[in-house]
C-alpha cells in the first residue's frame, strides 16, 4: 500500500490477515481500549514520534512538546497518536551515537511505513536524531515536519556565562593544563547544562536545526527558540496544525526537496560556521532522495559564503541570542543573494515567500552583515591530496590562523587505545609544531566514526602553553569543538586508505588556502609500506555490527548504509 492510496486514518496499512474488513474491525477494537470512539477514529491520523528518554536530557521536553503538538493536530481536525522510536544522546551511546544513527533512521522509516499515518511530526534535536529522522522520513515518503526540542538556556560559572558544549571542552582543556583545580572543574560540571534542550552553541544540533529549517522541513523560524520557552511550545502547536493541513494536501517533502533545497542547506551550513558533521548528515539525507552532495561544490560555495553568525565555537554567542536576534529569518535576509529563493517548503510556500513574510529589523549584533563578517569565507574547506584522495574537511573558521599553512613531522596514533596510552606519557617525544595523526576512527574503523578527531593537546605541551596543533584523523569532531582539526579523511585507514601507511617522522603538508593535504613520501615507498602491512579490519561475525561493517559508506557519501541510499524502484 502506498501513501497515494485514497484511504486515510485507521483504514491505512491494515495488518494482513487476508480479510481487510476484519483487520480494521480488530484494529479499532484494540485502540478503543484506550478510550477512543468511532468519531475520533474516522479522522486522519497524525503520528508524533516521541524520543523522550531518561538517557536523553536534550529531549527532556519531548513529552511536553508532543502534548502541544497534539493540541495543534486536534484543533486542525485530525487524530494525534504518539509513539516512540530509538532516542540517541551524544554522551549515552557506546561506542558513539553515529554508530546508531542509521539504526534510528531504519527504525523511523519502518515505523512510519508500518503505522496507519496520514502525516508525521518528528520530535528530535540531539545531534544524530534530526538527520536520522529526516533520512527515515524521506525514505518513508509521507508528509512530515521536523520539530526540534530547541537549545538549552545558558548557565553561569562564577559570573561567567557558560553553556554546553564549547565551554565544556574549553574548561576541560584548562583543567588539563593545570589552570583550573578540582573544585573549580567540579563546579563547572554543575553549571554547563542548566536546562533540558540541545547544546546551546553552533554545534551539530543547532547546525542541523538551522539546515533543516532552511531546507524547508520545519515551521518558519522554529530552529532557535529555547527548549524551555513559550515560543517552543507555540511552535509545537503550530507544527500540529500545519502537518494536518499537509496531510490533506498530500504534501510530501520527498517529492519537493531537490538540488535547490540541498544547496540552501549547504549555504546555511557555511554562513553559520556550522558543524563539520552537517556535511556528513546532509550527504546522508540527500542520498535518500538520490541527490548527491558534491564536496567540490561545497568548497566552491564556501569561497563566496562568509560566516556571519557570532556563535561559539567560531564566535561568542549562544543560540538563545540568535533567537532574540530573529533566528534563521535574519540569516536568510543577509545571504538572500546566495540562496535559491524558489525552493519549496513544508509551508506550501517558497523560501523566498516565507522570507518576505518574516523580516526582523530590530537592532542586534549576533548576525553580522556580509560586508563585516565573523570570517570572510565559509567555515568549512575541502582538502585533497595523496593523504586524502577522496577528500577531507577542515573547519577553518575555528582553526588557528597561523596553522592553516603548516608543514611538519607527523606523530601517529594507531587508534583510540594507542592514543589513550601515549598522549599524556611524559616520556613521549612531542613537539609544539608536530602534526598529530589518529587513524582507525573512520566509519568502519572505530566503528561509527566517533568524535575523537579533537585529539587532546599532550599534557606536557598544554602545561607549556600550547593551545592548538594540527590534528588529522579519519574520524569526526563535535560541532562544539575548535582547533586546527582535519577530519573525515577518505578513504579511511581501516579500508586501506593512505592514512593507514603514515609513520611517525613522515612530513605532512597542510595548505588550507591551496586546499591540499599531502604526505611527503613518494609513491614507491607508500606502495612498499602497503605490501608490508598486516591484514585490514575483519568483518564482525554477527548482528548490527556485521550489518554496519558490510554496509556503511565513507564520509563523502554520508556514512549511510549502501542498501538504504536512493529511492525505491517500482
The burial of 106, by beta-carbon neighbours within 10 Å (0-12 exposed, 13-18 middle, 19 or more buried), is given as buried
CA pair distance 278, 269, nearest whole angstrom: 7
3-state secondary structure of 296: helix
Q: Contact between 90 and ligand FES (CB under 6 A)?
A: yes
Site for ligand FES in 416-455 (CB under 6 A): none
Please answer whether residues 395 and 271 qualify as being in contact, where contact means their C-beta atoms are separated by less than 8 angstroms. Answer: no
Q: Contact between 201 and ligand FES (CB under 6 A)?
A: no
User: Which of the stretches 107-115, 197-205, 331-339, 456-464 binds ligand FES when contact is defined by CB under 6 A?
Assistant: 197-205
Query: 16: alpha, beta or left, given left = phi > 0 and alpha = psi -120 to 50?
Result: beta
Q: x/- contact string, 478-507, with ligand FES (CB under 6 A)? A: ------------------------------
Q: How many residues bind ligand FES (CB under 6 A)?
A: 11
* DSSP secondary structure of 41-55: HTS-EEEEEE---TT
Residue number with CB closer to ligand FES (206 or 264): 206
Which residue is associated with the grid cell 592514512?
499
Residue number with CB closer to ligand FES (58 or 219): 58
Helix (H) or strand (E) holding 497: none
Q: x/- contact string, 525-544, with ligand FES (CB under 6 A)? A: --------------------
Signed CA dihedral, 215, 453, 310, 204: sign only: positive
Site for ligand FES in 242-301 (CB under 6 A): none
DSSP H helical segments within 358-458, as ranges? 416-422
Q: Which three cell numbers stand for residue 26?
A: 480488530
In this chain, which of 168, 199, 218, 227 binds ligand FES, going by CB under 6 A? 199
Residue number with CB closer to ligand FES (58 or 552): 58
Please answer whether residues 217 and 145 qualify as being in contact, where contact means their C-beta atoms are separated by less than 8 angstroms. Answer: yes
Residue number with CB closer to ligand FES (82 or 196): 196
Q: x/- contact string, 111-150, with ligand FES (CB under 6 A)? A: ---------------xx-----------------------
In this chain, which of 163, 203, 448, 491 binds ligand FES, going by CB under 6 A? 203
The span from the first CA to the last CA of the chain, in angstroms, equals: 12
CA pair distance 395, 236, nearest whole angstrom: 33
What's phi and psi for 275, nearest 5 deg?
A: -65, 145
Which residues are bridge partners to 367 per DSSP? Answer: 309
Q: Contact between 89 and ligand FES (CB under 6 A)?
A: yes
Residue number with CB closer to ligand FES (24 or 105): 105
Residue number with CB closer to ligand FES (97 or 347): 97
Please enumerate in sequence order all residues whose Cβ is within 8 A of that of 375, keeping only pairs 6 or more positions apart, or say none.
Answer: 273, 306, 307, 314, 396, 397
Q: Quote the least distance from Cβ 199 to ligand FES, whole Å.
A: 3
Residue number with CB closer to ligand FES (89 or 471): 89
Helix (H) or strand (E) holding 108: helix 97-114
Please answer whether residues 167 and 192 qualify as being in contact, where contact means their C-beta atoms are separated by less than 8 angstroms. Answer: yes
CA pair distance 23, 391, nearest whole angstrom: 52
Residue number with CB closer to ligand FES (191 or 440): 191
Residue number with CB closer to ligand FES (253 or 450): 450
* DSSP secondary structure of 494-560: GGT-GGGG--TT-EEEEETTTTEEEE-S-HHHHHHHHHHS-PPPPPPSSHHHHHHHHHBPPGGGTT-
Q: Quote the least distance from Cβ 91 to ligand FES, whole Å.
A: 6
Q: Contact between 557 and ligand FES (CB under 6 A)?
A: no
Which residues are bridge partners to 82 per DSSP? Answer: 48
Q: Which three cell numbers stand for residue 7?
A: 484511504
Which residue is associated with the grid cell 526540534?
148
Residue number with CB closer to ligand FES (59 or 260): 59
Q: Contact between 312 and ligand FES (CB under 6 A)?
A: no
Q: Quote the least distance from Cβ 193 to ligand FES, whole Å.
A: 9
Site for ligand FES in 45-64 (CB under 6 A): 58
Largest CA distance in the chain: 76
Q: x/- contact string, 321-350, with ligand FES (CB under 6 A)? A: ------------------------------
CA pair distance 496, 484, nearest whole angstrom: 25
User: Which of the stretches 29-37, 196-204, 430-438, 510-518 binds ligand FES when contact is defined by CB under 6 A?
Assistant: 196-204
Q: Contact between 101 and ligand FES (CB under 6 A)?
A: no
User: Which of the stretches 131-139, 175-183, 199-207, 300-308 binds ligand FES when contact is defined by CB under 6 A?
Assistant: 199-207
In this chain, which of 76, 180, 202, 205 binds ligand FES, going by CB under 6 A? 205
In this chain, which of 105, 123, 165, 517 binds ligand FES, going by CB under 6 A? 165
Which residues form the interface with ligand FES (CB under 6 A)? 58, 89-90, 126-127, 164-165, 198-199, 203, 205
Amino acid at each position: 500500500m502506498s501513501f497515494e492510496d485514497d484511504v486515510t486514518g485507521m483504514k491505512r496499512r491494515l495488518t494482513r490477515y487476508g480479510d481487510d474488513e476484519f483487520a480494521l474491525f480488530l484494529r479499532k477494537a484494540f485502540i478503543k481500549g484506550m478510550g477512543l470512539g468511532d468519531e475520533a477514529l474516522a479522522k486522519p491520523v497524525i503520528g508524533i514520534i516521541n524520543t523522550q528518554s531518561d538517557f536523553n536530557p536534550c529531549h527532556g521536553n519531548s513529552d511536553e512538546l508532543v502534548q502541544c503538538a497534539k493540541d495543534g493536530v486536534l484543533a486542525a481536525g485530525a487524530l494525534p497518536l504518539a509513539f516512540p522510536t530509538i532516542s540517541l544522546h551524544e554522551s549515552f551511546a557506546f561506542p558513539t551515537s553515529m554508530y546508531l544513527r542509521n539504526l534510528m533512521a531504519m527504525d523511523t522509516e519502518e515505523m512510519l511505513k508500518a503505522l496507519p499515518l496520514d502525516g508525521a511530526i518528528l520530535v528530535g534535536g540531539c545531534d544524530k536524531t534530526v538527520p536520522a529522522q529526516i533520512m527515515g522520513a524521506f525514505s518513508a515518503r509521507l508528509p512530515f515536519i521536523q520539530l526540534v526540542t530547541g537549545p538549552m538556556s545558558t548557565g553561569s560559572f562564577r559570573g561567567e556565562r557558560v553553556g554546553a558544549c564549547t565551554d565544556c571542552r574549553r574548561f576541560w582543556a584548562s583543567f588539563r593544563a593545570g589552570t583550573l583545580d578540582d573544585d573549580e572543574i567540579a563546579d563547572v560540571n554543575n553549571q554547563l547544562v542548566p536546562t533540558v534542550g540541545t547544546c546551546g552553541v553552533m554545534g551539530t544540533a543547532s547546525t542541523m536545526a538551522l539546515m533543516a529549517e532552511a531546507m524547508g522541513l520545519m515551521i518558519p523560524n522554529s530552529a532557535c527558540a529555547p527548549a524551555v520557552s513559550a515560543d517552543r511550545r507555540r511552535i509545537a502547536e503550530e507544527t500540529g496544525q500545519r502537518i494536518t493541513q499537509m496531510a490533506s494536501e498530500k504534501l510530501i517533502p520527498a517529492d519537493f526537496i531537490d538540488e535547490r533545497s540541498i544547496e540552501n542547506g549547504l549555504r546555511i551550513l557555511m554562513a553559520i560556521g556550522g558543524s563539520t558533521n552537517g556535511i556528513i548528515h546532509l550527504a546522508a539525507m540527500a542520498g535518500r532522495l538520490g541527490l548527491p552532495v558534491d564536496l567540490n561544490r561545497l568548497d566552491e560555495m564556501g569561497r563566496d559564503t562568509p560566516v556571519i553568525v557570532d556563535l561559539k565555537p567560531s564566535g561568542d554567542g549562544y543560540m538563545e541570542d540568535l533567537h532574540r536576534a530573529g533566528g534563521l529569518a535574519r540569516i536568510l535576509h543577509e545571504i538572500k543573494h546566495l540562496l535559491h529563493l524558489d525552493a519549496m517548503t513544508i509551508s506550501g510556500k517558497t523560501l523566498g515567500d516565507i522570507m518576505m513574510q518574516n523580516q526582523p529589523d530590530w537592532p542586534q549584533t549576533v548576525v553580522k552583515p556580509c560586508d563585516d563578517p565573523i570570517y570572510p569565507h565559509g567555515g568549512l574547506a575541502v582538502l585533497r591530496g595523496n593523504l586524502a584522495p577522496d577528500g577531507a574537511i577542515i573547519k577553518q573558521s575555528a582553526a588557528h590562523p597561523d596553522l592553516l599553512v603548516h608543514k611538519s613531522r607527523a606523530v601517529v596514533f594507531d587508534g583510540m587505545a594507542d592514543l589513550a596510552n601515549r598522549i599524556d606519557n611524559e616520556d613521549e617525544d612531542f613537539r609544539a609544531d608536530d602534526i598529530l595523526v589518529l587513524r582507525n576512527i573512520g566509519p568502519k574503523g572505530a566503528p561509527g566514526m566517533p568524535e575523537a578527531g579533537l585529539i587532546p593537546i599532550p599534557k606536557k605541551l598544554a602545561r607549556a602553553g600550547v593551545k592548538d596543533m594540527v590534528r588529522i584523523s579519519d574520524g569526526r569532531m563535535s560541532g562544539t569543538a575548535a582547533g586546527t582539526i582535519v577530519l573525515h579523511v577518505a578513504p579511511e585507514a581501516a579500508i586501506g586508505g593512505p592514512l593507514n601507511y603514515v609513520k611517525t617522522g613522515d612530513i605532512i603538508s597542510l595548505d588550507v588556502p591551496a586546499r591540499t593535504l599531502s604526505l611527503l613520501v613518494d609513491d614507491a615507498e607508500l606502495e612498499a609500506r602497503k605490501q608490508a602491512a598486516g591484514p585490514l579490519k575483519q568483518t564482525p561475525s554477527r548482528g548490527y555490527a556485521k550489518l554496519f561493517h558490510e554496509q556503511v559508506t565513507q564520509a563523502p557519501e554520508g556514512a549511510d548504509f549502501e542498501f538504504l541510499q536512493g529511492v525505491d524502484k517500482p
